[in-house]
Chain A
Amino acid sequence: MKCRHNSSFFLFSLLSLLGVLFPLGAQTGMIPNPTTIPSFAPNEDYRPVHANELIENATAWDGEKIDFEGEIIGDIMLRGSHVWINVLDGSTAIGIWASKSMLPQISFTGQYFSSGDHLKIRGTMHRACAEHGGDLDIHADLVKVLSQGKAVTHPVGKNRLWICFVSIILAGLSIGFWRHREKKLTNNPMGN
């Protein structure tokens, strides 16, 4: 009896702890306070880097000012005065936290029907961002579009249409064969 109460209490405590921790971990939407006036003029403080290098050597890059480039993918997620975007460099995407006013006009984001605009981001890399619940992210000082994305078409090839036709006919024939065999078995109760 006591054991049961203990375990219930334990479970309850754990869930309560989670209930407290998760809301507290919500993003506060604080506006970063850049100390320098950002521009895309050549600046030795900002070092160009790729996504894989950022993740592989995250500790070394933590807090560093960087120039990062890639394709904007998916959604532009508005959070108060800021936005979250995800930028794909090679095969790795990284989250960018930018003020809404800083984000240039985006023509396309990368999806099935489009390749996204190619962006350049100048900002600060965080290995485990204290503001965003430990995310590895980049807080942008400046964002610009290097090249616009474009719509992508996916034409249906004639060969595929033929294969499709044949496979559907085959399916019909196979179903017919199955039903015929089942019928034969029903008519012949001695059959197996």
Chain B
Amino acid sequence: MKSSKKIDDLKIIFYYSGKIIIGEALLYIIPLATALIQKEYASAVDFLISFGVAMSTGAFLCGICATKKKPGWMHGMVTTGIVWILSMPIFALPYWLSGHYVSYIDCMFDIMSGLTTTGITLIQDLDHVSDSLNMWRLLLTFVGGQGIVVLALAIFSESSGGGYSFYVGEGKDERLFPSVVHTAKAIWQISLLYLAVGTAALWISSIIEGLQPGRAFLHALWIYMGAWSTGGFAPMSQNVLYYHSTLIEAVSFIFFIIGSLNFALHDAVLKGDRKELGKNIETISFSITLSLLTFVMSWGLQKLNVYPNLLALARKGFYQLASAHTTTGFMTVYPRQLANEWGSVALLAMIMAMLIGGSACSTAGGFKGLRIGILFKAIIQDTRRLLHPNSAVVTQKYKYHGTKTLSEQQVHSAALVVLMYVAIFAVATVAGCVAGFPLIQSAFEAASVTGNVGLSIGVSSAGMPLYLKLIYIFNMWAGRLEFMAILASIGFFASLVKKKPRRSHYEMQA
């Protein structure tokens, strides 16, 4: 009876995983169309092969596990956890077929990096890749920012039975509408609205800065996708430095800041509630931490005379810090410049910024401003409790789409998530040191992968040890899904292999 229940659970999990994979496979239409328009026929064939493989896998899973049963909370969590892992080998195929990777694990690394909006890449000779491959890289980042399960929910609206658990499993818990399918659609509508505005703004900027209109359009679209999703992938190996343009940096800055804000906040502002922007605990937390860290970083850079003037300090120092804090990962300096020139103080400010990250229910990673705000409020509450008589009831309020009262449960879950982030960050830092990198560089790269940032100090490369690649992949996955779906997946699969307890002699006789 129990084993039949487990089989039913597995069927539900893999049936919905199959559906999500089919949803992702449909995305191949966009790079395929790009390849045909740009006459990149070899790439078009690669995308057709990859489409066939992904559709076969998804449809086969749906067929073999076909079920009419509705998913429950546990199914949604486990499906979300494993579909991100299943996506890695399936959607890495075009990377491998392009010949721009040293090994298949590097292709999978880049898929995880793209989907989780991290942005660290192990690709070789990026400056000569096809437009269609760049489209695939950036599209995955864009979709990953919204969430691949959110995409599937928006496509297959009928699968709303346990939809909320899929949604929460992907690190989002704000409902813009009572229905989670409507929420998923609203997230996509907001993203597509900004896609049009952002691409237009960057297109005009790119033409002004000397790119041909056709190339400018593609670069604008890609840079927008990298900025909005706080992904950090860019079409050229020098990242945003390639453009040598203050204008493009400024426009991309605006869109990665916007991208790091909560979707519920976007929804509120778009519906006319602009006051929410000024009083929301996340925007306040973000403004305070960004300002403090800007001060620390500027002091560190100034002390070492890294930049010749205030303007260079703003364009290099502040841009990098904002990119780190929003977990974007756009760079306008070379990774080795960070290692060799920036000094420990500025790098520590960057590490802090990467770990804190952007807003909850946004495309950003990290601890999230909401949790930092909640923990700060908890410290204030505890301090006030110390100063009041034991009988006094001390409550702490905060603004987050209305006035909320701080509860012990909120503090507990915020602290737990932050603690788990710190734990996996520490493991990745130690792994970096074991691989022979200095502590500060290991910590920088570990913060970057854990917070889904994508800035690199030069540790990540095709030549790094396999165990480091695997740890980084795990951290990107765990950091993006915020642990809940991963713990549920591990727990579920552990329960499958767990031996049944032996019946005692007395039970047998009875």
For residue A41, CB closer than 8 A to chain B, the reply is no
A10 to B337, CA, bound (A): 31
**Distance (Å) between the CB of B410 and the closest chain A CB?**
20
Once the chains bind, are B69 and A192 in contact (CB under 8 Å)?
yes
For residue B475, CB closer than 8 A to chain A, the reply is no
Stretch at the interface among A31-39, A125-133, A139-147: A125-133
**Distance (Å) between the CB of B8 and the closest chain A CB?**
6
> Chain A residue with minimal CB distance to B236?
A74
A192 to B66, CA, bound (A): 8
Once the chains bind, are A192 and B63 in contact (CB under 8 Å)?
no
For residue B291, CB closer than 8 A to chain A, the reply is yes
In the complex, the number of residue pairs spanning A and B with C-beta atoms less than 8 Å apart equals: 224
A14 to B211, CA, bound (A): 31
Once the chains bind, are A154 and B63 in contact (CB under 8 Å)?
no
Q: Which residues of A contact B242 (CB under 8 A)?
A: 74, 86, 93, 95
Once the chains bind, are B315 and A133 in contact (CB under 8 Å)?
yes
> Chain A residue with minimal CB distance to B250?
A22
Once the chains bind, are A111 and B128 in contact (CB under 8 Å)?
yes
Q: Which of B45, B58, B243, B312 contacts A160 (CB 8 A)?
A: B45
Interface of B is mostly: helix
In the complex, chain A residues 133-188 whose Cβ is within 8 Å of any chain B Cβ = 133-137, 152, 154-156, 160-161, 163-164, 166-171, 173-175, 177-178, 180-182, 184-186
Stretch at the interface among B105-113, B196-204, B279-287, B443-451: B279-287
Q: Which of B56, B60, B307 contacts A128 (CB 8 A)?
A: B307
A147 to B40, CA, bound (A): 26
Once the chains bind, are B40 and A134 in contact (CB under 8 Å)?
no
A175 to B58, CA, bound (A): 9
A92 to B334, CA, bound (A): 9
A23 to B52, CA, bound (A): 49
A175 to B18, CA, bound (A): 11
Once the chains bind, are A58 and B306 in contact (CB under 8 Å)?
no
Q: Which residues of B contact A73 (CB under 8 A)?
A: 127-128, 236
Mark interface residues in B321-364 (1 if CB within 8 Å of A CB, else 0): 00000000000111011001100000000000000000000000
Once the chains bind, are B59 and A84 in contact (CB under 8 Å)?
no
Once the chains bind, are B51 and A171 in contact (CB under 8 Å)?
yes
A8-B278 contact given A128-B306, A168-B52, A174-B63, CB 8 Å threshold: yes
A133-B68 contact given A14-B291, A22-B253, A164-B49, CB 8 Å threshold: no
Once the chains bind, are B129 and A112 in contact (CB under 8 Å)?
yes
For residue B420, CB closer than 8 A to chain A, the reply is no
Q: Which residues of B contact A7 (CB under 8 A)?
A: 278-279, 283-284, 287-288
Once the chains bind, are B210 and A75 in contact (CB under 8 Å)?
yes
Once the chains bind, are B211 and A130 in contact (CB under 8 Å)?
no
> Chain B residue with minimal CB distance to A19?
B250
Once the chains bind, are B247 and A86 in contact (CB under 8 Å)?
no
For residue A191, CB closer than 8 A to chain B, the reply is yes
Q: Which residues of B contact A181 (CB under 8 A)?
A: 62-64, 66
For residue B406, CB closer than 8 A to chain A, the reply is no
A74-B127 contact given A93-B236, A168-B48, A178-B60, CB 8 Å threshold: yes
A77-B315 contact given A4-B279, A91-B237, A128-B308, CB 8 Å threshold: no
Mark interface residues in B29-72 (1 if CB within 8 Å of A CB, else 0): 00000000000111101101101110111111011101111000
For residue A123, CB closer than 8 A to chain B, the reply is no
**Distance (Å) between the CB of A82 and the closest chain B CB?**
10
A137-B244 contact given A110-B127, A164-B48, CB 8 Å threshold: yes
Once the chains bind, are B46 and A174 in contact (CB under 8 Å)?
no
Q: Which residues of B contact A78 (CB under 8 A)?
A: 210
A138 to B241, CA, bound (A): 13
In the complex, chain B residues 371-427 whose Cβ is within 8 Å of any chain A Cβ = 399
For residue A11, CB closer than 8 A to chain B, the reply is yes
For residue B174, CB closer than 8 A to chain A, the reply is no
Mark interface residues in A88-104 (1 if CB within 8 Å of B CB, else 0): 10011101010000000
Q: Which residues of A contact B212 (CB under 8 A)?
A: 75
Once the chains bind, are B45 and A136 in contact (CB under 8 Å)?
no
For residue B11, CB closer than 8 A to chain A, the reply is yes
Once the chains bind, are B210 and A25 in contact (CB under 8 Å)?
no
In the complex, chain B residues 230-278 whose Cβ is within 8 Å of any chain A Cβ = 236-238, 241-247, 249-250, 253, 278
A136 to B211, CA, bound (A): 21
A58-B341 contact given A93-B127, A177-B63, A185-B68, CB 8 Å threshold: yes
Partner-B contacts on A (CB < 8 A): 4, 7-8, 10-11, 14, 18, 21-27, 55-59, 73-79, 83-84, 86, 88, 91-93, 95, 97, 110-112, 115, 127-130, 132-137, 152, 154-156, 160-161, 163-164, 166-171, 173-175, 177-178, 180-182, 184-186, 189, 191-192
In the complex, 22 of the A-B residue pairs with CB atoms within 8 angstroms, ordered by the A residue number, are: A8-B278, A10-B288, A14-B290, A22-B315, A25-B315, A55-B337, A77-B211, A77-B244, A77-B245, A83-B210, A88-B237, A93-B127, A111-B127, A111-B128, A128-B306, A130-B309, A133-B312, A160-B49, A164-B48, A170-B56, A171-B56, A171-B59
- For the A-B complex with A111-B127, A174-B63 known, give 19 more contacts whose Cβ atoms are closer than 8 Å: A7-B283, A7-B284, A10-B288, A26-B247, A55-B336, A76-B210, A77-B210, A93-B127, A93-B238, A111-B128, A112-B131, A115-B128, A127-B341, A136-B333, A154-B42, A156-B41, A177-B59, A178-B62, A180-B63
